[in-house]
């Protein structure tokens, strides 16, 4: 059996004929077939477009871009150009980013006129999914950005946590724990976003029932440099039941006292100022102030905050 010519497959791929192959003429009665034009997949074609025609996407989960790292990337782009094209979708007469906002921002700093893009067709949900996946794979998102991305998929697109986990390649427990971070007060979320508190700290803080107590715990962690184990001990102490104030009727039964909003507000301010659990009992101009401490060092700290010298 004759060995097939090596160039035949390559010639067919390029749309030509191999030199060694003799052309076969069709019968006179058969029309010569016309070759179909080669189709170029637009999804793989890199185009250059004006930078000012590219706009950011509202579904971008990443919100924090540090100026220093952007400037470093801009300096690199000035020297080498943008090596990896931006992924975009058509939006009217403009292009909306799906992936590559950091490169787009750096290109602006580098004063580029044009940027390379690859065009994709995607609806809003697919855009968010693609942006989330890209950032998660690169570990670009802080824990709060990651949680907000999951929350957007759940709330805006009515996806279950199981579906979100499947889409982004995470376990359901990872998604559920991330979403719990959004129950923290805004101030505490900022500490996590800025990496001042770890996710481990945040999970322990979530064991406290009120936003005030959660903020108090976060401030104590930052002030005293507590690790996660020490934070667990702090939260356990803060969860100890406070002494309840009650009024006694003539038959000796106790009825709860409705607390004045001004007393509650003052108690909250004292708690924030002293950084520990405080209870203010007040009635008709009389009462008591209960300030908790759990070590000699803590007592010394509170005394100093009150302006009292131990010497």
User: Are 58 and 96 within 8 A, CB to CB?
Assistant: no
pLDDT at 260: 65
pLDDT at 123: 87
Measured between its terminal Cα atoms, the distance across the chain in Å is: 107
Backbone conformation region of residue 275, classed left if phi is above 0, alpha if psi is from -120 to 50, else beta: left
Residue that terminates a domain, selected from 96, 119, 141: 141
Measure the CA–CA gap between 160 and 167, rounded to whole angstroms.
Answer: 11
Domain contains 148: no
What contacts 265, CB < 8 A, 6 or more positions away?
none
Domain contains 210: no
Choice among 42, 72, 79, 101 that is catalytic: 101
Q: What is the CATH number of the domain that holds 54?
A: 3.90.1530.30
Domain contains 125: yes
User: Are 82 and 110 within 8 A, CB to CB?
Assistant: no
Asked whether the predicted pLDDT for residue 43 surpasses 90, the reply is: no
Residues in the chain: 311
Domain contains 268: yes
Dihedral sign, Cα of residue 108, residue 112, residue 114, residue 116: negative
Residue that terminates a domain, selected from 112, 141, 170: 141
Domain contains 301: yes
3-state secondary structure at position 100: coil
Q: Which residue has the higher pLDDT, 189 or 65?
A: 189
Residue 240 token pair: 């100890």
Our answer to whether residue 101 is catalytic in this structure is: yes
Measure the CA–CA gap between 246 and 256, rounded to whole angstroms.
Answer: 5
Domain contains 80: yes
Domain count, the chain: 2
pLDDT at 205: 94
Measure the CA–CA gap between 48 and 93, rounded to whole angstroms.
Answer: 15
Task: Output the average pLDDT for the chain.
Answer: 78
Asked whether the predicted pLDDT for residue 50 surpasses 90, the reply is: yes
Domain contains 243: no
Q: Domain of 134?
A: 43-141
User: Are 280 and 267 within 8 A, CB to CB?
Assistant: yes
Residue matched to tokens 């009727």: 249
User: Are 127 and 98 within 8 A, CB to CB?
Assistant: yes
pLDDT at 19: 46
Q: What is the mean pLDDT of residues 255-280?
A: 71
CA angle 52/53/59 to nearest 5° reads 105
Minimum mean pLDDT range among 6-15, 49-58, 193-202, 286-295: 6-15
pLDDT band at 136 (very low <50, low <70, confident <90, very high): confident
Q: How many CA atoms lie within 13 A of 38 on its CB side?
A: 6
Residue that terminates a domain, selected from 105, 121, 141: 141
pLDDT at 284: 72
pLDDT band at 42 (very low <50, low <70, confident <90, very high): low
| pTM of the complete model beyond 0.85 | no
Residue matched to tokens 């940027």: 115
Q: Following CA atoms 10, 14, 20, 24 in sequence, which dihedral angle do they give, to the nearest 10 degrees? A: 120
Domain contains 33: no
CA angle 154/158/159 to nearest 5° reads 60
């Amino acid at each position: 059996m004759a060995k097939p010519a090596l160039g035949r497959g390559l010639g067919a791929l390029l749309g030509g004929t191999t030199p060694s192959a003799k052309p076969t003429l069709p019968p006179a009665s058969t029309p010569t077939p016309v070759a179909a034009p080669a189709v170029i997949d637009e999804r793989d074609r890199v185009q250059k477009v004006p930078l000012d025609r590219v706009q950011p996407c509202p579904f971008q989960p990443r919100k924090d871009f540090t100026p220093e790292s952007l400037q470093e990337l801009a300096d690199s782009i000035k020297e080498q150009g943008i090596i990896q094209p931006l992924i975009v979708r058509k939006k009217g007469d403009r292009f909306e980013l799906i992936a590559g906002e950091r490169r787009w921002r750096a290109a602006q700093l580098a004063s580029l006129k044009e940027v390379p893009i690859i065009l994709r067709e995607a609806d809003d949900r697919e855009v968010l999914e693609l942006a989330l996946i890209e950032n998660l794979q690169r570990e670009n998102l802080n824990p709060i950005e990651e949680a907000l991305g999951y929350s957007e998929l759940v709330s805006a697109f009515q996806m279950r946590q199981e579906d979100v986990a499947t889409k982004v390649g995470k376990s359901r427990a990872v998604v559920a724990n991330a979403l719990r971070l959004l129950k923290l007060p805004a101030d505490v979320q900022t500490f996590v976003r800025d990496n001042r508190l770890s996710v481990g700290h945040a999970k322990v803080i979530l064991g406290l029932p009120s936003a005030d107590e959660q903020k108090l715990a976060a401030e104590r962690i930052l002030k005293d440099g507590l690790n996660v184990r020490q934070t667990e001990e702090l939260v356990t102490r803060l969860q100890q039941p406070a002494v309840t104030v009650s009024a006694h009727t003539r038959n000796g039964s106790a009825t709860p006292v409705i607390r004045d909003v001004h007393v509650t507000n003052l108690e909250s301010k004292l708690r924030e100022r002293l950084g520990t659990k405080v209870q203010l009992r007040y009635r008709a101009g009389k009462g008591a102030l209960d300030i908790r401490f759990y070590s000699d060092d803590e007592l010394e700290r509170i005394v100093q905050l009150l302006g009292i010298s131990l010497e």
